[in-house]
Structure 1
Amino acid sequence: MTAQQLKNSILQMAVQGKLVPQDPSDEPASVLLERIKAEKQELIKAGKIKKDKKSSEIFRGAAHNLPYVFCEQIGKEIRDISDEIPFEIPDSWEWVRLGSIVYNRGQMKPTSDFCYVDIGSIDNKRQRLGDTENIITPDKAPSRAKKIIDVGDIIYSTVRPYLHNMCIIDRQFSLQPIASTGFATMTCYSGLLNKYLFYYLLAPDFDNYANDTENSKGVAYPAINDDRLYKALIPLPPLSEQHRIVAKIEELLPYIERYGKAEEHITALNTTFPEALKKSILQEAVQGKLVPQDPDDEPASVLLERIRVEKQKLIKAGKIKKSKHESVIVTRDKIPYEIPDSWVWCKLSDLAILENGDRSSKYPVEADYVEIGIPFFGAKDIDGDMMSFQNVRFISQQKYDELGNGKLVDGDIICLLRGSVGKTAKFEANEQFDTGFICAQMLIIRLLDKSLFGYISSYFKSPDYTNYVESKVTGTAVRQMPAKEMGNLLIPLPPLAEQHRIVAKIEEIMPMIERLTLR
């Protein structure tokens, strides 16, 4: 149960007479209603309010020997309203129409500076009036600035009532306060506690009534008109019980608020926890802490030597160029953390050929695009962990043949060097496209041993990699990273057999974490 659901439950219990016990010594609400009638007549006589030609009186049918549970009399007409009554109330309570127990102070056109209260004046998270006064001169008064209000009044926004833009006017103003006509303004007669009515207006029963499509009209800005609003049925307790109900609600609200904060914390934790758990597992993986080491595994140093020999063959055959800055030595002061004895530290350039796209004058421009041909990949074509062919641009075979670097082969990893720096994806050839060309903001990472792919891909998702990339990014308007920094990336390399165990364990765990996000 959420904090809001708990609050709603408490408010609904309160207005059904189930939150506090009834006291048989309380003066019944029927007597209270007689006093309200008398006060209403005095206000009419004094010219402060107008006589209501359709005043309503609701009573139990049995009290008048009528075969109905509840009846309503308007003028001389008596009708059965039993089907309208939403729930049972205690015997000492009465059902009334909202318009029978409140009145408004009327309207005025401002002739001097005044304090204007509009929707923006309300904190609808706490249903409180804001602290700042909005003082307006009469010549700049909005056309809606008309309704007179005073301390103790309730204002209720009739536009989009589900937003709960409502409050009790709980303080004095420096000037005459005037509210927008977007509010229904309610002054309670003596004997109706404004806080009780306020909490009823927040209760699910009234909320359902105000937002029912029969009452609230409109699509973008549904609104309930005053006539419909004042016809709402209100369960009226004895005055003493109103005080007890309000006291109990206000005793419970701080607990609900604390519950809400705890709920927000848990919600935030549930939102961030799966991603944090993923990162933690990936970091454990690349530090040799996710799966046990096996002393029978061939050490990573042997694997690295095989890759070095393969690289030398390619250099000798003229297929790749020897790097002028190549180094196989990783000094201890560069090592970020300890790894198992069977692992080795190496650079990405030790494990892969890094290739930029062709940035010469032959680089493709829009005039080179064709309907179908060789895929020309950009950042937008990265879809998760893969390069997507769905909306890719194409260049002709002739244009492709003119280009030098940046041509893809199956299994290549593409890395972004601008924008979402460090983001990687795999190029997989298919029957239709066995190659492609990368844009200038990309880098090809071609592993010298394809069996490293699973582990290296996992490393590219680890916090270790993310932190490295962030430390090498330059620029603010356009984030970018030099390609050489990818070559200098330090990688903790496990034995090949352990790499496979690491990848298998990650693939076993990650779906479980994904399920956490769906809860």
Structure 2
Amino acid sequence: MTPQELKNSILQLAIQGKLVEQRPEEDTAEKLFAQIREEKQQLIKEGKIKKEKPLPEITEDEKPFDIPESWMWVRVQEITCLNPKNDLPDELEVSFIPMALIDDGYRSSHSFAIKSWGGIKKGFTHFADGDIGIAKITPCFQNRKSVIFRDLKNGYGAGTTELSIVRVVNDLLSRDFLLWFFKSAYFIENGVKSFTGTAGQQRIHKDYLAMCVLPLPPFAEQKRIVAKIEELLPYIDRYEQAWSKLEQFNSRFPEDMKKSLLQYAIQGKLVEQRPEDGTAEELFAKIQEEKHRLIKTGKIKKEKPLPEITEDEKPFEIPESWMWVKLGSILHYIDTGKSFKCDEVQPTGNKCGIIKVSAVTWGKFNENESKTCYSSDSWVDEYAIHENDFLICRANTAALVGGCVIVDKISKRLMLSDKVLRLHFSKMIYPFYVLWALRTPLVRNQFSSVATGTSESMKNISQEILKNIIIPLPPLAEQKRIVEQLEQLLPLCERLK
């Protein structure tokens, strides 16, 4: 049960006479109702309130649930005065309350500004200390912007015209009981059914409040109901706090689980190590031999040696068959793109274009995140994107720079942009392992600490930074087993969202 459902349930029990016991010595609602009518008649005679039109009798069909025998069904207007007017000196300072100064929810609180009565007596709703204000416009009505006005400047105020005002007759009713009724799901849901007006400007029907059928308990029982609700409120608050923490945990859990799985993967704890797989040192030696051959044959360029990895740079223990490497040591080379003049729409037909950084940002290559070159003559074969390309974003926000994908399929004629790099790894490296390694907190933290740029909205990682990124390297066969396990487990995390 959500906190909202719990509150609704308690209020429903309250207005059905099930929250506290009935006591014979407290008389009946019928006697209370007769007393209220007498008082209203006296006020009419004295000219303090206007005579109201008679309301229709309450039919059996209008009674939504059973109530105790000592209670009585009444219409709100029969027991209160609605939308009264204040007659005050223009110079008197009073409270001014627009809708924004009334809190929503299940509490009763408001603030106010101070103005002279003469400046606000026209065009605004009047009220006084002890009056109940109820928002009548959506979404304020559903959000329970309802309040008992208290401690107003000189006891009076005016405010938004989107309030209905309920005034209790000579303290014969518990204002707090009425307020809890006006916050009940029964009152709110029936009010919504009465809405009139266009979308965004809908209000409760002009007669809804007056005609609303209210279950009236004896006065003493009203007070006991309010006391019981107030006794329960601290427990409800604690429940709500616990619920919020649980909701936060549940919302974080899929992403936290994903991070944990990736961390386990690069620590060698996700799959077992097998002696027959050989070691990462043996694999690394073969990769270096391969690079030397390619340099000799002129297929790749010789680069300056990367600094050795120090013990302080190794953030955690890894299996004996693994080794720490820098990304540049298992790369053959990096392709850079180019900036072209483009139209901000994706290319169609035989037109060519370049990818945006958003094409590689969200974990899967999206060719629709692209722009169309003004001329097909812009096409350059060496920048063309192909299936199985390993792409990484070198410029983006601090949270997204370094986002990477492997192109699974492509149907458009697209090229690299100047903000996306293409990495060419040794054939003895399983690129999907590197893909997941670059998405781990280990590497994301490295990107965060070394990315350049003064603005959080645009950070950069150079090729030199990329080559010096440190990752743990398992034997090739184990790389593949790790990826296979991740591909089984990570979709389960997504289903938890």
Note closer, same or farther for the CA distance 1:87–1:228 as it changes in structure 2 (3 Å cut): same
Matched residue SS, 1:241: helix
Note closer, same or farther for the CA distance 1:27–1:287 as it changes in structure 2 (3 Å cut): same
CA RMSD of aligned residues (A): 2.5
* Residue 364 in structure 1 maps to residue 340 in structure 2: yes
Distance 1:43 1:445 in 2: 87
Distance 2:212 2:359 in 1: 57
Q: Equivalent residue for 2:316?
A: 337
1:388-435 residue CA offsets vs partner (Å, 9 max, x unmatched) = 33353456775444x76x4545422111111131011113466x66x8
* Residue 199 in structure 1 maps to residue 199 in structure 2: no
* Residue 350 in structure 1 maps to residue 326 in structure 2: no
Matched residue SS, 2:13: helix
Q: Equivalent residue for 1:446?
A: 424
Note closer, same or farther for the CA distance 1:26–1:400 as it changes in structure 2 (3 Å cut): same
Once the two structures are TM-superposed, the CA of residue 309 in structure 1 deviates from its matched residue by: 1.3
Distance 2:42 2:316 in 1: 85
Note closer, same or farther for the CA distance 1:312–1:428 as it changes in structure 2 (3 Å cut): farther
Distance 1:106 1:398 in 2: 77
* Residue 457 in structure 1 maps to residue 435 in structure 2: yes
Contact 1:357–1:437 under 8 Å retained in 2: no
Once the two structures are TM-superposed, the CA of residue 170 in structure 1 deviates from its matched residue by: 2.6
Q: Equivalent residue for 2:49?
A: 49
Contact 2:355–2:369 under 8 Å retained in 1: no
Once the two structures are TM-superposed, the CA of residue 373 in structure 1 deviates from its matched residue by: 5.0
Distance 1:48 1:205 in 2: 32
Q: Equivalent residue for 2:191?
A: 210
Aligned counterpart in structure 1 of residue 391 of structure 2, from 376, 401, 414: 414
Q: Equivalent residue for 1:309?
A: 289
1:25-54 residue CA offsets vs partner (Å, 9 max, x unmatched) = 221111111111111122112211011231
The percentage of aligned residue pairs carrying the same residue is 32
Give the paired residue count: 483
Distance 1:51 1:373 in 2: 78
Contact 1:314–1:320 under 8 Å retained in 2: yes
Contact 1:110–1:141 under 8 Å retained in 2: no
Matched residue SS, 2:277: coil
Distance 2:462 2:96 in 1: 58
Distance 1:228 1:408 in 2: 65
1:48-85 residue CA offsets vs partner (Å, 9 max, x unmatched) = 101123156xxxxxxxxxxxxxxx2xxxxxxx711111
TM-score by length of 2: 0.90
Structure 1: runs of 5 or more not aligned:
57-71, 73-79
1:429-457 residue CA offsets vs partner (Å, 9 max, x unmatched) = 66x66x85211111111111265112111
Note closer, same or farther for the CA distance 1:370–1:237 as it changes in structure 2 (3 Å cut): closer
Note closer, same or farther for the CA distance 1:142–1:467 as it changes in structure 2 (3 Å cut): farther
Specify the code of the residue in structure 2 equivalent to 1:3: P
1:293-315 residue CA offsets vs partner (Å, 9 max, x unmatched) = 22332101111111111111221
Distance 2:250 2:422 in 1: 37
Note closer, same or farther for the CA distance 1:21–1:358 as it changes in structure 2 (3 Å cut): closer
1:94-130 residue CA offsets vs partner (Å, 9 max, x unmatched) = 1111001111432458823432122112110343333
Contact 2:70–2:217 under 8 Å retained in 1: yes
Distance 2:459 2:361 in 1: 20
Contact 2:135–2:162 under 8 Å retained in 1: yes
Distance 1:88 1:217 in 2: 33
Specify the code of the residue in structure 2 equivalent to 1:365: K
Matched residue SS, 2:460: coil
Matched residue SS, 1:116: strand
1:53-452 alignment runs, 5 A limit = 53-55=53-55, 72=57, 81-104=59-82, 105-107=84-86, 111-112=90-91, 113-131=93-111, 133-137=112-116, 141=120, 144-147=123-126, 149-160=127-138, 161-174=141-154, 176-189=156-169, 190-212=171-193, 214-326=194-306, 329-359=308-338, 364-366=340-342, 372-373=350-351, 375-382=353-360, 384-390=362-368, 392-393=370-371, 399-401=378-380, 406-419=383-396, 420-428=400-408, 436-449=414-427, 451-452=429-430
Contact 2:361–2:403 under 8 Å retained in 1: no
Contact 2:15–2:181 under 8 Å retained in 1: yes
Distance 1:127 1:217 in 2: 28
Note closer, same or farther for the CA distance 1:114–1:299 as it changes in structure 2 (3 Å cut): same
TM-score by length of 1: 0.86
Note closer, same or farther for the CA distance 1:125–1:106 as it changes in structure 2 (3 Å cut): same
Q: Equivalent residue for 1:15?
A: 15
Note closer, same or farther for the CA distance 1:421–1:391 as it changes in structure 2 (3 Å cut): closer
Specify the code of the residue in structure 2 equivalent to 1:455: Y
Contact 1:356–1:483 under 8 Å retained in 2: no
Matched residue SS, 2:178: helix
Once the two structures are TM-superposed, the CA of residue 173 in structure 1 deviates from its matched residue by: 2.1
Specify the code of the residue in structure 1 equivalent to 2:401: V
